[in-house]
Amino acid sequence: MPRRVPEPDAQTGGGPARADVLIAGAGLVGMALSVALARTGLAVTLVDRATIAAPEYDPATWDARVYAISPGSAAFLHAIGAWPMLPCERVAPIEAMHVAGDAGAGLRFSAYDLGERALAWVVEERALRAALLPVVFEAGVTVIGTAPFVGLEWSADEARLKLAPEGQPEVAVAARLIVGADGIRSWIREAAGIGAVPKPYGQTAVVANFGCERAHHGVARQWFRPDGGVLAWLPLPERRMSMVWSAPDALAAELLALDPVALAARVAAAGEHVLGDLVPLTAPAAFPLSLLKLPTTIAHRLALVGDAAHGVHPLAGQGVNLGFGDAQALAAVLAERGPVADAGAPVLLERFARRRAEPVLAMQTVTDGLAQLFGRDSPWLKSLRNAGLAAVDRIPAVKRLLAQPALR
């Protein structure tokens, strides 16, 4: 896709280009938000320091980075036109989930029991990006890629982001509202002075895909391990699965140093060989894990979404779903703004912040609490946490209550 750079605003004598909303960060959440906002009639500009282009696609290979997209997120992506663009042969439903404690206790969720078609859908990152990008252009979003952020200024009526597009003169884009969607190490957040230092978990997520000897039957599996780590297997189409091993840093380094065949054998053994022997499909990748809690996700003419606004442990697979929830909520608030023409008006930003505060805090509390609970080596805590898993598994109403926030 060609890069689109906005022309200077003629009404301001060649001053900065203007938009109602400027989204800084063209990841999955930023792209989805740009479409949702553009379809409410707002003029939207999407910028990123990296190239904004469709990823290279080889149907014979699989992306190591996958996401478990909740039914709520899938409905949002369908509403903006991206979900139908996904090739069905690259999407796998999670129809059940088996969770194992570190002392034999277990917990099982079933889509059928919860009245859902699937608990989630497992989709490659590159497939989601390829589905979103054409929709971004169709919605009329102005796109600027390969443009490092070099300055951020505010006045009473607007915010202005200065960019240095590759091979072009520096350009400024002014907007009523700037949205930071540029990840956990957000440049926008830092420039806005919103203090936040991610709290490391001392764990690294090692991700890779494998072919399986046995069929997975749409079952996702998760093991809380005695060393405090969490091993998760997500079903991919046919006899394939994606692994996310949230391992202590030292173990992660050990896993990454293994050759592909040895890593496959190690992963199969850690998963009790429930899918038989494994065959490596992708090289492993690694992502350091941290918790990010902010004092606020809004400021003067600024809102933060996605990983720029919050970081959670991946044991529940909810990071990207929280981001899509942010996008959906902000788009809804601006679509329902009524007589408030200014997209960056404080009343709208405060409404957005209130709408997202409870679901984000709840998910952070649950995921961080579980990570801390299973990360402590104490005999009485071990007995307590496993007894808790077993007790929840025996009460369907409690399981439904726990599942609903993740589903929606």
192 in the same domain as 215: no
**Strand 142-144, strand 44-47: pairing:** parallel
Hey, what's the torsion of the CAs at 383, 385, 389, 394, to 10 degrees?
A: 60
Residue 84 lies in a domain: yes
316 in the same domain as 210: no
Q: Which of 193-197, 348-352, 388-392 has the highest mean pLDDT?
A: 348-352
**HEC sequence for the chain:** CCCCCCCCEHHHCCECEEEEEEEECCCHHHHHHHHHHHCCCCCEEEECCCCCCCCCCCCCCCCCCEEEECHHHHHHHHHCCCHHHCCHHHCEEECEEEEECCCCCEEEEECCCCCCCCCEEEEEHHHHHHHHHHHHHHCCCEEECCCCEEEEEECCCCEEEEECCCCCCCEEEEEEEEEECCCCCCHHHHHCCCCCCCEEEEEEEEEEEEEECCCCCCEEEEEECCCCCEEEEEEECCCEEEEEEEEEHHHHHHHHHCCHHHHHHHHHHHCCCCCCCEEECCCCEEEEEEEECCCCCEECCEEECHHHCCECCHHHCCHHHHHHHHHHHHHHHHHCCCCCCCCCCHHHHHHHHHHHHHHHHHHHHHHHHHHHHHCCCCHHHHHHHHHHHHHHHCCHHHHHHHHHHHHC
Residue 387 lies in a domain: no
> Residue 325 maps to which CATH number?
3.50.50.60
192 in the same domain as 209: no
Q: How many domains does the chain have?
A: 2
CA angle in degrees (0–180, nearest 5) for 149-301-305: 70
Residue 183 lies in a domain: yes
Domain ranges, residue 226: 66-124+201-282
182 in the same domain as 90: no
**pLDDT above 90 as % of the chain:** 71
340 in the same domain as 296: yes
109 in the same domain as 210: yes
pLDDT at 70 over 60: yes
140 in the same domain as 48: yes
pTM here is: 0.91
Residue 168 lies in a domain: yes
Residue 408: pLDDT band (50, 70, 90) is: low
306 in the same domain as 162: yes
Residue 58: pLDDT band (50, 70, 90) is: confident
- What pLDDT, in 10s, does the model give residues 80-139? 999 999 999 999 999 999 988 766 777 888 898 888 899 999 999 999 999 999 999 999
234 in the same domain as 366: no
- What pLDDT, in 10s, does the model give residues 280-334? 999 999 999 999 999 999 999 999 999 999 999 887 678 899 999 999 999 999 9
Average pLDDT over the chain reads 89
> Residue 95 maps to which CATH number?
3.30.9.10
For residue 172, the tally of other CB atoms under 10 A from its CB is 17
Residue 382 lies in a domain: no
For tokens 């149907």, the residue is 59
Domain stop point among 282, 317, 351: 282
Residue 390: pLDDT band (50, 70, 90) is: low
pLDDT at 404 over 70: no
The dihedral through the CA atoms of 206, 209, 210, 216 has a sign that is: positive
**Cβ partners under 8 Å of residue 335, min gap 6:** 40
362 in the same domain as 224: no
The rounded distance, in Å, linking the Cα atoms of 231 and 99 is: 10
**Strand 302-304, strand 171-180: pairing:** parallel
Residue 320 lies in a domain: yes
Q: What is the residue type of 278?
A: L
The rounded distance, in Å, linking the Cα atoms of 391 and 124 is: 34
Q: Find the mean pLDDT for residues 347-360.
A: 96
Residue 72 lies in a domain: yes
Residue 392 lies in a domain: no
135 in the same domain as 44: yes
235 in the same domain as 358: no
Q: What is the residue type of 162?
A: K
